[in-house]
Chains A and B, each alone.
Chain A
Amino acid sequence: MNIHEYQAKQLFRDHGVSVARGAVARTPAEIDAALAQLPEGKIVVKSQIHAGGRGKGKFTDGFAGGVKIAASAAQAKEYALRMLGNTLVTHQTGPAGRKVQTIFFTEATDIAKEYYLAVLLDRATSQPVIIASTEGGMDIEHVAEHMPDKILRRHVDPALGLRAFQGREIGFRLGLGEDQIKQFGRLLEGVYKLFWDKDCAMVEINPLIVTPAGQVEALDAKVSFDDNALFRHPDIQALRDLNEEDSKEIEASKFNLNYIALDGNIACLVNGAGLAMATMDIIQYFGGTPANFLDVGGGATEEQVTSAFRIILSDPAVKGILVNIFGGIMKCDIIARGVIAAARNTKLQVPLVVRLEGTNVELGREILAQSGLALTTADSLSDAAQKIVAALKA
């Protein structure tokens, strides 16, 4: 799960990680009150969306820049009014862009030096890893590729947690001055505490800055969470912004279905994430374009399958459906009944290819055959993919 920068900065404040003062406005009426919380002087006006590249982005009405520095509160208000409710397109949002519903105002900070700091999981060692670099304010992937020796990686023992010497060692490596070393140590402690206590997937600060006055603080904040752990963090769940998510994906999650929207026109309904990915792959292999990833999981009820169908068919781009079920926990007769019910309930008009295999497969095939519905069955996945691609061309 992702959150907005302003929410991440609030979490930083809660965990003793220095950030500049800020305030949000969600409507034009809130702007004055928000700006009143900030000191005189330059103000940074930041569109809040779950995507990077906001500074270089462009709004669909032509207004340039999702992050702007205003010379005064009055100018900040002007910028905010142009941004609120407007749609921002960045290199990470896709061409449709994202509607900006929240503006974050923060006092502009002078920068003496920029660094990079992040904490995330290192899958290779199954430990949290701290990533730090003197090359802050840049694309870290670029640094990793072109200046790998400027990337510092230090692992944290999960049971012991972050030790004070680790913060010192990283601070000295980064070339921080004596007073900054202590500040950095405290900041890193706060970052790691947030990472661990709130079950984060990643905490990223780019850039981490030292001001001309020698203050170490986080200029930007990007925090994401381990979805598997959200059940034990109701306060984090409350930060979820449904406007940043695809409505079909939100609907699917209500039925415990795993659905991800894609750009194509052949929908798939599969049991098992690996098989679902492989089904998308084989559709493309035979010249089709997958419309979605959809894993109905191991114990899908008839209701879930019907809901899955409805969600699939709510995508106007869908011109055909491939159902691929290999039953382990999933039983083929349950799927077959669900497919038939769904096809009837949705008055299915597009081609449907169903491929079943596994537990109760004979019963499932029988139920499909006796349904009287216009559907095509297939034996192998290859057969199924070719049939659905051909059906769209027919």
Chain B
Amino acid sequence: MSVLVNKNTRLLVQGITGKAGSFHAQQCLEYGTNVVAGVTPGRGGQKFLDRVPIFNTVREAVEQTGANASMVFVPPAFAADSLLEAIDAGVPLLVCITEGIPVRDMLLVKERLATSSIRLIGPNCPGIITPGECKIGIMPGYIHRPGKVGIVSRSGTLTYEAVWQITKRGLGQSTCIGIGGDPVNGTSHLDAVRLLNEDPLTEAIIMIGEIGGAAEEEAAAYIKAEVRKPVAGFIAGATAPPGRRMGHAGAIVSGSSGSAGAKIAAMREAGIAVAPTPSDIADTLLSRYHP
């Protein structure tokens, strides 16, 4: 059993016919993900790569294929509506890659999610992967290796750094959850750490964060109280100037809150080993985790 996704996950791709959607749907298929359907309104009846049926609506895709997860590649102006459509169709797991969704739209999606058991990862995220079993997202598969280190991160490429360091040391990842760079998201650091903590196959956890908000502090408090597995972390943005959004919509130091220093202090307080540079993430974990 792995965290949220595995060999049996049946994935539908919303926006499968778009440029990014088609490229990554194919990459996921090649990785071995069980992509069972695509959804693009108006293209129902067609096939993606001559093998994956495309439907006009999520509801129809779920009825016809039993899809139980969705990867969303819909442009920002329409992405929230696509998420609401998937929630309405009862898809249990949503992974929203789209960057640029208005905050207001996500506030309403989150409110809708609060009264359901559906899990949303993202938006503005690279996705989730259980190496060797299921990849839902845009991460390069080849850097991953099945193993026991769970990773949660707001970033995409910074996560790949950590993953590659772990892989090169002969270890592997249980599940990597990219929660994304937006200020309003479906799964927080705390949510992801809890999942990894409760996963019997995960023996150690890496938590990667960045400036903005207090999600890392919230997770650190949980880790201090509940997590006995070794945890290492890294916080990006110590050199970011205050008041500027550093790429990610959620990466901003506002007044006295959201600084890298505050997060690092909270993490150390919680017994998390914090890497001094992004190159030291695996070594920092291995100072606490002896597999």
Q: A residues engaging B (CB < 8 A)?
A: 121, 123-124, 126-128, 141, 144-145, 157-159, 196, 199, 201, 226-229, 231-232, 258, 260, 262, 270-285, 290, 293, 295, 298-299, 326-330, 357-359, 380-382, 385
Contacts and interface: CB of A to CB of B under 8 A. Distances in A.
Contact of A196 (B101, B104, B184): B104
Given A199-B102, A277-B236, A298-B20, 18 more contacts: A123-B183, A226-B102, A229-B103, A232-B102, A272-B158, A273-B181, A274-B158, A274-B159, A274-B248, A275-B155, A275-B158, A277-B239, A278-B158, A280-B239, A281-B239, A328-B138, A328-B160, A357-B164
B242 to A, nearest CB: 10
Given A123-B183, A199-B102, A281 B138 contact: no
A273 B159 CA distance: 11
B240 A277 contact: yes
B256 A126 contact: no
Interface string B259-291: 000000000000000001111100000000000
23 contacts: A121-B103, A121-B183, A123-B215, A126-B106, A196-B104, A201-B103, A226-B249, A272-B155, A274-B153, A274-B154, A274-B248, A275-B157, A275-B278, A277-B210, A277-B247, A278-B234, A278-B236, A280-B239, A284-B238, A295-B247, A326-B164, A358-B157, A381-B279
B139 A326 contact: no
B245 interface: yes
B239 A159 contact: no
B239 A284 contact: yes
B236 A281 contact: yes
B108 A158 contact: yes
B29 interface: no
B155 A274 contact: yes
B278 A281 contact: yes
Contacts of B47: none
Given A158-B107, A285-B276, A277 B246 contact: yes
Contact of A277 (B138, B161, B211, B280): B211
Contacts, number: 178
A273 B251 contact: yes
Nearest to A283: B239
B237 interface: yes
B103 A228 contact: yes
B221 interface: no
A291 to B, nearest CB: 11
A363 B161 CA distance: 19
B140 A327 contact: yes
A144 B256 CA distance: 10
A199 B103 contact: yes
A202 to B, nearest CB: 9
Interface string B1-44: 00000000000000000011001100000000000000000000
Contacts of B249: 226-228
Given A273-B181, A326-B157, A126 B107 contact: yes
Contacts of A145: 256
Interface string B190-229: 0000000000000000001011111100100000000000
Contacts of B245: 227
B232 to A, nearest CB: 15
A231 B105 CA distance: 13
